[in-house]
Structure 1
Amino acid sequence: MDHDDHTSVITGDRTRRRRAVRVGTAVAVVLALAVGGAYAAGLGPFERDTGPDPAAERQARAFLADWAAGRLPSAADRTTSPDTARRVLDSFTSGLDISGPKLTAETAAEAEDGTVIVPFTARMPVEGLGTWTYESKLPLREQGDGRWKVDWTLSLVHPRLSGTDKFRLEREETKPPEVRDRAGKTLSGDRYPSLGPVMAQLGGGGEGTGPRGAIHLVDRATGEVERTEARFGARTVRDRGPVRTTLDAGWQSAAEQALTAHAGGRNAALVALRIDDGEILAVANSPSSGFNRALSGTYAPGSTWKIVTSSALLLKDAVAPDDVVDCPKYLTVGKRFQNVELSEHPGATFRKDFTESCNTAFISLRDRLGDRELADVARKYFGVGQEWHVGAPSYDGSVPAPRDETEKAASMIGQGRVQANPLIMASVTATAVSGTFHQPSLTEGNDDRTSTTPLPRGVVTQLREMLRATVTGGTARGLSGLPGEIGAKTGTAEVSDDQDNNGWLVAHRGNVAVACIVEEGVTGGGSAGPIIHSLLSAAPGDSE
């Protein structure tokens, strides 16, 4: 399929130079759109007095947010050529079967002519194939009325998009493999619809048998391929017969029903896996076609990440569960951070901070960890950021070292540039309560290149106790009526000023760990909580 081949003609006078030139380097501003999260836990971006005009940066972020969320008329209105922008953005995303793009803004810079340039990374999920990643730049100019607008040009959509070149998506049709669960039962897309994105990506014995395709740059006039921008799927396929998975038909059915009943039409995803070996029992996505959010999503994990932060603090005896760590409503670290619903718990213990998910308390402990320590703990003990081979394409997490104190504060509560998905957070939960990381697996015989260190038994005991207390008297008390000794952690992850927060919940019972995200679910307990409750109520057993 081809995207629209309109070009834009920018008319009008050159925008005037800025009246006042700000000096200094702008702190990088990270966007996480559609399947990600902004690092704010406060009331909005922290405005600085140096660098490019903050109004220009806000306009760039708003444009990217609208584009990622599919609000194309709104995105186009933020440009100097709305009609053309709307046509091109629509044809680019629909023509290339792109859904749920994630657009991440980087450091803004001011050019000599007063233009503000905002580079960004585009991660474009191509339906049923994979993610196309590239980098581009947004130019912004101040208009005569003092407002900033994106200076429209085709190349901002992609650097190689032009009046002479466009992109074309080509798919190679392949027969999906027959998929069976751990007991040999056939898993059909009709009976288990949310497995659709997973089954399309499965391969037998590591050889891809799912869909294949490519995005080509072609000459607009002749259609001749000039270069291949992205290629998806294996080039050669060997028929190895039915694909035997680690999935459990009973758990998968319970997961499907839970999402259908409680996702409320919102984008959501869920993973359940065995704690003792990492074998995946259920993978569910809502909607049931398109992007595999459960394994390949890139989201800020929000307060569920406090499991890792707590581990880092407990490992070095930087805090103990009974230590008093005050929980005020607000804490300013370059910007103002706050707790959900402006809650506060004066004189709270660290255990209370965990069970009530106090952002400000965790942020106040940031100086007790080195700048790279959280990332090192995530990688060394939890395998996050290492290369995973689960039997299907997956995103394996990212925990970059913070670039400043504000970002370090955000990373303590699972925001900033920390990225995960339900697969990662189910694995994190399993590791926390067992002490040992097991590379998750969806098929047998996967290559395992990970290398981790077991958590000390004392740390595991403390984590299990705090997770249990979160259910018996904390933010996950909605699970307290279920049988079994359940431990859990809720999470609320901010996305952008224009979107509601994502809701998270992770839990464990018996030999199973689960993780669920609901996009724009507002709170974890309110949105993901009913889904996990339904799953654990209907699950056939705890896979001992």
Structure 2
Amino acid sequence: MPKSAYATTRRRKPRTMVLAVTSVAVVSAVAVGGTYAAGLGPFARGAAGPDPAALAQARAFLADWAAGRLPNAAGRTTRPATAQGVLRNFTAGLDIGKPTLTAAAPTEAEGDTVSVPFTAKMPITDLGTWTYTSKLPLRKQGDGSWKVDWTLSLVHPRLSGAKKFHLEREDTDAPEVTDRKGVALSGDTFPSLSPVLAQIDDGRGGTGPRGAIQLVDRATGKVERTEATFGKKTGRPSDQPSDRPVRTTLDATWQAAAEKALASGAHGKNASLVALRIDNGEILAMANSPSSGFNRAVSGTYAPGSTWKIVTSSALLLKGAVAPADIVDCPKYLTVGKEFHNVETSEHRNATFLKDFTESCNTAFISLRGKLGDQELGAVASMYFGVGQEWHVGIPSYDGSVPAPHDETEKAASMIGQGRVQANPLIMASVTATAVSGTFHQPSITRGNRNTTTTTPLPQKVVTQLRAMMRATVTDGTARVLSDLPGGVGAKTGTAEVAEGEPNNGWLAAHRGNVAVACVVEQGVTGGGSAGPVVRNLLAAVPTDPS
């Protein structure tokens, strides 16, 4: 089956003169969390209404598609060979990495059919995310099982035998870029910046590579409509002539240390980190492993795991639902639709809430879910931390999502940064900075970006409590890997489940002085054991705050 059958990539020269056109490699494996987004994994919820077996099959199909297990996904359809070819060519033709597929409530149609709506977030390499909605039709088979009733339109409602998609790229030259002090930055010197530099806002109102996904008539090649555009004009006022280098907020010293820490500490695993200034949100360093390809640090979509307990604790402390000294028991297991447990099934009987935080007790946090309304965690994340609002960083970014839970099981999962809560190192570094300063500052890699966020400062009492809890996590809790560092370091570890049978992602978010750092190591198993050494090495290498 030819690649052009369902989607194609085509480049065109921009309307303005460019000096070079660079090819973009198809990159696999980007957004983590497809299984949870599709409703599977350790936090699957029970079904009501339509046959649970139909819903399970739909979620399994979405999970396999999201994870790139295309033969498995196709095997869940009525036309496996056709389905596998279409899914493969759709992904490759549009330079799509690993999508995030979120199922909505199913509907039951006539006879033995069920329809499951879903939202697709398709990350287009080096450009951004294409988001759309579609539906999965399912039909009961003669043996009583359920299959996805294959049709082109389930991939996208406008994909058909007469219409296909292609990706048209309009590449622009990457501008010359310097750090905050004028030190030249390049992908040769700083490999992790390779996917970043081409995306930097050049001060002329554009942001890096541009492109569009277009719907095309198969017979004539005529463009019927544009589905999505990337790299639109930003409207950022130019503060420098276009022939001068673009000065970023990055710090060459921090960037070099971040790259070295990640290269030595990630042990070949996919990983990323961000370091930023607490007082103004300026990004000091951004590193990825591997260093080329997808910019996981700002565009990845991950379950943040227990680092999210910074936000959950904020929500609980804000309304006085709990205090650090209150007893909140931490049993090994807690059942809320499914059985939740702590890492290594640990328990801390008669623990205080402070102890629950420092030891990252899932069951204790889940037991407090009734203290928060269904919309409250998302509201606090947005109102105080800016999560889920639109950020203008200076490069394309994913700015987080905290949807209202569908049921108590999903609400329990969201309390510990699982379920459908999604973030990345940029978001968690910003969350840390906000928690310990009380004020959200839109992260930025260039100066003068628009700021359309609206947030409220955290009360000083809550800030003081959060700082004390994060400090105790270093001195007496799961972030002891940082305990020998000077400077009153505070932190929160995280272990995020991705899918049953796969190793957990490891997280660590920390602050010291005027710097906040967040790191994720995919399949790192634990935060303290994987992300912890990376952050420690970074902070040890640069012992002073940036000027």
Q: Tell me whether the two structures share a fold, i.e. TM-score over 0.5.
A: yes
User: Which position in structure 1 is the counterpart of 2:273?
Assistant: 270
- Structure 1 residues 394, 96: CA separation in 2 closer, same or farther (over 3 Å shift)? same
User: Which position in structure 1 is the counterpart of 2:376?
Assistant: 373
**Distance (whole Å) between structure 2 residues aligned to residue 442 and residue 472 of structure 1:** 32
User: Which position in structure 2 is the counterpart of 1:182?
Assistant: 180
> 1:44 deviation in Å?
5.0
The one-letter code matched in structure 2 to 1:72 is L
**8 Å CA contact 2:35, 2:63 repeated in 1:** no
> 1:444 deviation in Å?
0.9
**Distance (whole Å) between structure 1 residues aligned to residue 43 and residue 449 of structure 2:** 43
**8 Å CA contact 1:35, 1:100 repeated in 2:** no
**Distance (whole Å) between structure 1 residues aligned to residue 522 and residue 475 of structure 2:** 26
**8 Å CA contact 1:384, 1:396 repeated in 2:** yes
**8 Å CA contact 2:272, 2:287 repeated in 1:** yes
**8 Å CA contact 2:307, 2:509 repeated in 1:** yes
Instruction: Note if 1:363 corresponds to 2:366.
Output: yes
- Structure 1 residues 396, 512: CA separation in 2 closer, same or farther (over 3 Å shift)? same
**Distance (whole Å) between structure 2 residues aligned to residue 128 and residue 379 of structure 1:** 27
CA deviations 1:442-472 (Å, max 9, x no partner) are 1111122333232222222211111111111
**8 Å CA contact 2:186, 2:197 repeated in 1:** no
1:168 to 158, 166, 169: 166
> 1:229 deviation in Å?
1.3
> 1:294 deviation in Å?
1.3
User: Which position in structure 1 is the counterpart of 2:461?
Assistant: 458
Q: What is the Cα-based RMSD across aligned positions, in Å?
A: 2.4
> 1:419 deviation in Å?
2.1
> 1:274 deviation in Å?
0.7
**Distance (whole Å) between structure 2 residues aligned to residue 462 and residue 308 of structure 1:** 13
1:502 to 499, 505, 510: 505
How high is the TM-score relative to the length of structure 1? 0.89
Structure 1 unaligned segments of length 5 or more: list them.
8-31
**8 Å CA contact 1:174, 1:210 repeated in 2:** yes
**8 Å CA contact 2:40, 2:59 repeated in 1:** no
The one-letter code matched in structure 2 to 1:215 is I
- Structure 1 residues 402, 79: CA separation in 2 closer, same or farther (over 3 Å shift)? closer
**Distance (whole Å) between structure 1 residues aligned to residue 306 and residue 317 of structure 2:** 17
**8 Å CA contact 1:355, 1:489 repeated in 2:** yes
**Distance (whole Å) between structure 2 residues aligned to residue 134 and residue 144 of structure 1:** 33
> 1:245 deviation in Å?
0.5
- Structure 1 residues 176, 33: CA separation in 2 closer, same or farther (over 3 Å shift)? closer
**8 Å CA contact 1:204, 1:241 repeated in 2:** no
Matched residue of 1:528: which SS?
helix
Matched residue of 1:417: which SS?
coil
> 1:298 deviation in Å?
2.1
With 326-335 and 200-209 compared, the bigger mean Cα shift is at 200-209
User: Which position in structure 2 is the counterpart of 1:345?
Assistant: 348
User: Which position in structure 2 is the counterpart of 1:334?
Assistant: 337
Matched residue of 1:207: which SS?
coil
How do 1:53-64 and structure 2 match up within 5 A? 53-64=51-62
> 1:142 deviation in Å?
2.6
> 1:386 deviation in Å?
2.6
The one-letter code matched in structure 2 to 1:246 is T
How do 1:395-434 and structure 2 match up within 5 A? 395-434=398-437
> 1:182 deviation in Å?
0.3
Matched residue of 1:56: which SS?
helix
> 1:270 deviation in Å?
0.9
The one-letter code matched in structure 1 to 2:468 is E
> 1:529 deviation in Å?
1.6
**Distance (whole Å) between structure 2 residues aligned to residue 105 and residue 293 of structure 1:** 23
User: Which position in structure 1 is the counterpart of 2:219?
Assistant: 221
Structure 2 unaligned segments of length 5 or more: list them.
8-29
How do 1:273-312 and structure 2 match up within 5 A? 273-312=276-315
Matched residue of 1:446: which SS?
coil
CA deviations 1:396-416 (Å, max 9, x no partner) are 222233343333222221223
**Distance (whole Å) between structure 2 residues aligned to residue 403 and residue 79 of structure 1:** 26
> 1:506 deviation in Å?
0.3
2:318 to 289, 312, 315: 315
> 1:3 deviation in Å?
4.0
Matched residue of 1:362: which SS?
helix
2:448 to 437, 445, 448: 445
**Distance (whole Å) between structure 2 residues aligned to residue 479 and residue 236 of structure 1:** 40
The one-letter code matched in structure 1 to 2:86 is V
**Distance (whole Å) between structure 2 residues aligned to residue 112 and residue 499 of structure 1:** 38
The one-letter code matched in structure 1 to 2:473 is T
Matched residue of 1:38: which SS?
helix
User: Which position in structure 2 is the counterpart of 1:208?
Assistant: 206
User: Which position in structure 2 is the counterpart of 1:120?
Assistant: 118
**8 Å CA contact 1:5, 1:163 repeated in 2:** no
CA deviations 1:269-320 (Å, max 9, x no partner) are 2110011111110111223233322112222221111111111222222211
CA deviations 1:307-356 (Å, max 9, x no partner) are 11111222222211111100112222233222222211111111110011
**8 Å CA contact 1:263, 1:518 repeated in 2:** yes
User: Which position in structure 2 is the counterpart of 1:539?
Assistant: 542
With 72-81 and 508-517 compared, the bigger mean Cα shift is at 72-81
**8 Å CA contact 1:205, 1:444 repeated in 2:** no
With 480-489 and 270-279 compared, the bigger mean Cα shift is at 480-489
How do 1:523-534 and structure 2 match up within 5 A? 523-534=526-537
2:197 to 191, 199, 209: 199
> 1:120 deviation in Å?
1.3
How do 1:40-189 and structure 2 match up within 5 A? 43=42, 45-48=44-47, 50-189=48-187
2:485 to 470, 482, 485: 482
- Structure 1 residues 75, 372: CA separation in 2 closer, same or farther (over 3 Å shift)? closer
The one-letter code matched in structure 1 to 2:149 is D
The one-letter code matched in structure 1 to 2:320 is D
- Structure 1 residues 399, 314: CA separation in 2 closer, same or farther (over 3 Å shift)? same
Instruction: Note if 1:231 corresponds to 2:253.
Output: no
- The alignment of Structure 1 onto Structure 2 pairs a total of residues equal to 518
How high is the TM-score relative to the length of structure 2? 0.89
> 1:219 deviation in Å?
1.5
**Distance (whole Å) between structure 2 residues aligned to residue 497 and residue 117 of structure 1:** 26
CA deviations 1:479-516 (Å, max 9, x no partner) are 22333321110112223336433221101111110011
- Structure 1 residues 236, 328: CA separation in 2 closer, same or farther (over 3 Å shift)? closer
**Distance (whole Å) between structure 2 residues aligned to residue 464 and residue 287 of structure 1:** 33
